[in-house]
Amino acid sequence: MGPFIIFGQGNLITTNAGFESATIDDGWKFLNSASGIAETTGVHEGAQAIKVTYSGTGSHLTLKSDLLISEPGDYYLSVWIKGTAGNLFRVIPSVNGSQSYPKFTLSKTDTWEQLTINFSIPSTPSTSTFNVKLNGFTADATYTIDNVVVKKAGSTIANGDMESGTTHLWSAPAVSNGASALILEESSEVHAGSKAMKIEVTPSGTAPSIGDIQILNNVFSAFNNSPKTISFWAKATPDNSDEVPSIMISQKFYDAEGKYDNGGQYNGSMRLTDNYRQYKWAVNHEFIDAGNVATTATYFTNTIRCGETAGNYYIDDITLETYTGTPTITSTPVTTADAGSPYTYTATSSKPGIGKWSLTRPETGAEWLTIDSYTGQIGGTPTAGGSFDLTITLDDGIATIIQPFTLVVSGATAIGDDVNTAPVKIYPNPASSFLFIESEGTIEAIEIYSIAGQKVLEATHVAAGIDISHLANGLYIVSANINGKPIQYKFTKQ
């Protein structure tokens, strides 16, 4: 099995980490009625594992001596375990005497599963003590344990790069409304490395929508009382070109006793394109228990949620980083526009790429304005003059940042107004096949836009008319320069 996480150093457990010693408790001790024997058949790796019977919820298999760790940062504790499906187990990292221990539920019987926990070593004190406790939480149960590893972590979501294959630490999808979904290992459509996750989503054919497709990573990631930023790369190709695929990351938070909130935290759905793009948003560490009492979450699991569109989704390189604080909107709004001329303004932030952009606009008069939630670009072609109060919002998952401004749209140069004394005639209106422009001045740079501001046609030779027969019926704007000055004219294609 290939590596699924980048480490900066070797295993910090140097004595009997794989239970290969003839004395199976070399480096380890049994606490509170736990007992163990050597296991030589069906081991995960090497020649020997350890089979431990836990007589009560407080019994442990524990390192005999604390490890001393002088380098602060994120670390990773991993253990391979085999037991009975439904039994509970705790992998407990103890840092400077402080313990966090969410419960894992084994999903398979007599099958090796990898349980992982991420934890942090603080910057102070300069040297920290660390210990490992392995606790069978189901009383009087027996588990086989092998390959205990503690390493400095380069990425804190195990197998987020999918290099160990999509069956490693990623569960089968949960679907709704009768849809089906299949997780596949992808080797060609990857962002980086040699593997990615491909999710084939198929509708039922009877439901109005297929519902969310959820893929759970079975690894707990530590919060250590600080917000995090989740980053991932994704793209999608929908079955229907009229549908827009979307994706989000959700989190379900656990406290030290393994309790979790009811609904999890969901970030705004992001629209995907057919090219890989990086998406980032932040998650906080607030935990809401069943009594709606806010406490502190210590761990969370990650769920990828694909939106209600059938097709193929590709996901790669999921990482977890420290949240570096609330971003600010750094761009200055463009506050003026001309009716009939395309308008654009791209909002930027101090932390590019994180969060989702949205736009609040008046219910009437500004329908032509749209925003790209990924790039922050807003634009369109105003159809008439006016003043519009707008608000751009950046939601990074934790904080909401707004930028209000007023856009003033001036009326367009009207047909019949003086354009360097050159009379202009544009006809017919409505038009079906050809649109003609006549002027005594020099006609330059002719462009036709949809009412939403999308350029649909360019022309330079107009003596024989502009062929518009291929355009869909509707309202359009023709824009041209005559003797260096702009004119705009609305016409209807029918």
DSSP per-residue letters across 170-182: BPPPB--TT-EEE
232 and 271 part of one domain: yes
Asked whether residue 164 is assigned to any structural domain, the reply reads no
Domain of residue 432: give its range: 424-493
32 and 121 part of one domain: yes
Asked whether residue 158 is assigned to any structural domain, the reply reads no
277 and 211 part of one domain: yes
Residue 20 has pLDDT above 90, yes or no: yes
Exposure on the CB side of residue 78, measured as CA atoms within 13 A: 25
Band (pLDDT 50/70/90 cuts) for residue 247 is confident
113 and 189 part of one domain: no
What is the DSSP annotation of 331-356? PPP--EEETTS-EEEE--BSSTTBSE
Q: Are 477 and 488 in contact (CB under 8 A)?
A: yes
Q: What is the CATH number of the domain that holds 365?
A: 2.60.40.10
366 and 283 part of one domain: no
Instruction: Point out which residues pair with 60 in neighbouring strands.
Output: 31
> d(Cα 229, Cα 354) in Å, to the nearest integer?
8
Show Cβ contacts of residue 260 under 8 Å, excluding neighbours closer than 6 positions.
Answer: 252, 253, 254, 287
Show Cβ contacts of residue 79 under 8 Å, excluding neighbours closer than 6 positions.
Answer: 91, 114, 115, 134, 145, 146, 147, 148, 149
Question: Which residue did the predictor score with more confidence, 299 or 14?
Answer: 14
> d(Cα 209, Cα 19) in Å, to the nearest integer?
51
40 and 131 part of one domain: yes
User: In this predicted structure, which of 114-118, 146-150, 260-264, 396-400 has the lowest mean pLDDT?
Assistant: 260-264
Q: What is the pTM of this model?
A: 0.70
From residue 426, how far is each of 78, 132, 340, 356, 446 by CA, in Å?
73, 81, 15, 42, 12
Residue 427 DSSP SS3: strand
Structural domain count of the chain: 4
Neighbours of 3 (CB within 10 A): 10
377 and 305 part of one domain: no
Q: Are 309 and 246 in contact (CB under 8 A)?
A: yes
Q: What is the mean pLDDT of the chain?
A: 82
Q: How confident is the model over 245-255, as a mean pLDDT?
A: 78
428 and 453 part of one domain: yes
Closest listed residue to residue 196, CA positions, set 146, 232, 225: 232
Phi/psi zone of residue 99: left (φ > 0), alpha (ψ -120 to 50 degrees), beta? beta
Q: What is the CATH number of the domain that holds 82?
A: 2.60.120.260
Band (pLDDT 50/70/90 cuts) for residue 415 is very low
Asked whether residue 1 is assigned to any structural domain, the reply reads no
Band (pLDDT 50/70/90 cuts) for residue 19 is very high
> d(Cα 380, Cα 189) in Å, to the nearest integer?
34
Where is the domain boundary, 261, 294, 322?
A: 322
Question: Which residue did the predictor score with more confidence, 441 or 267?
Answer: 441
Q: What is the CATH number of the domain that holds 441?
A: 2.60.40.1220
> d(Cα 385, Cα 127) in Å, to the nearest integer?
67
User: In this predicted structure, which of 235-244, 245-254, 308-317 has the lowest mean pLDDT?
Assistant: 245-254
Asked whether residue 170 is assigned to any structural domain, the reply reads no
Band (pLDDT 50/70/90 cuts) for residue 430 is confident
Show Cβ contacts of residue 489 under 8 Å, excluding neighbours closer than 6 positions.
Answer: 340, 415, 426, 477, 478
Where is the domain boundary, 322, 355, 372?
A: 322
Question: Which residue did the predictor score with more confidence, 80 or 116?
Answer: 80
What is the DSSP annotation of 230-295? EEEEEEEEESSTTS--EEEEEEEEE-TTS-B-SS-EEPPPEE--SS-EEEEEEE--EEE-TT--EE
Band (pLDDT 50/70/90 cuts) for residue 175 is confident
Q: How confident is the model over 286-312, as a mean pLDDT?
A: 67
Band (pLDDT 50/70/90 cuts) for residue 164 is confident
Band (pLDDT 50/70/90 cuts) for residue 13 is very high
| The pLDDT of residue 428 | 84
Backbone angles phi, psi at 41, to 5 degrees: -115, 145
| The pLDDT of residue 8 | 39
189 and 137 part of one domain: no
Residue 125 preceded by cis peptide, ω within 30: yes
Q: Are 476 and 431 in contact (CB under 8 A)?
A: no
| The pLDDT of residue 301 | 73
Asked whether residue 5 is assigned to any structural domain, the reply reads no
377 and 406 part of one domain: yes
Q: Checking DSSP bridges between strand 270-271 and strand 246-254, what pairing results, if any?
A: antiparallel
Residue with tokens 């400077």, as numbered in its chain: 96
Band (pLDDT 50/70/90 cuts) for residue 4 is very low
Q: Checking DSSP bridges between strand 400-410 and strand 424-427, what pairing results, if any?
A: unpaired
> d(Cα 38, Cα 47) in Å, to the nearest integer?
10
User: In this predicted structure, which of 54-58, 269-273, 377-381 has the lowest mean pLDDT?
Assistant: 54-58
Asked whether residue 383 is assigned to any structural domain, the reply reads yes
Q: How confident is the model over 353-365, as a mean pLDDT?
A: 90
40 and 141 part of one domain: yes
Range from 22-26, 227-231, 425-429 that averages highest in pLDDT: 22-26
Residue 25 has pLDDT above 50, yes or no: yes
Question: Which residue did the predictor score with more confidence, 418 or 380?
Answer: 380
Q: Residues for the chain: how many in total?
A: 494
Q: How confident is the model over 238-247, as a mean pLDDT?
A: 85
Asked whether residue 166 is assigned to any structural domain, the reply reads no
| The pLDDT of residue 243 | 82
Q: How confident is the model over 60-71, as a mean pLDDT?
A: 89
Residue 411 has pLDDT above 80, yes or no: no
Closest listed residue to residue 299, CA positions, set 6, 13, 90, 56: 90
Residue 56 has pLDDT above 70, yes or no: yes
Residue with tokens 């209000």, as numbered in its chain: 404
Range from 80-94, 182-196, 200-214 that averages highest in pLDDT: 182-196
Q: How confident is the model over 279-298, as a mean pLDDT?
A: 64
Residue 428 preceded by cis peptide, ω within 30: yes
> d(Cα 352, Cα 178) in Å, to the nearest integer?
38
Residues 453, 457, 461, 465, CA torsion sign: negative
Q: How confident is the model over 389-409, as a mean pLDDT?
A: 93
Closest listed residue to residue 5, CA positions, set 74, 69, 81: 74
Where is the domain boundary, 270, 296, 322?
A: 322
Residue 483 has pLDDT above 80, yes or no: no
Neighbours of 155 (CB within 10 A): 21
> d(Cα 459, Cα 352) in Å, to the nearest integer?
37
Asked whether residue 415 is assigned to any structural domain, the reply reads no
395 and 289 part of one domain: no
Residue 468 has pLDDT above 60, yes or no: yes
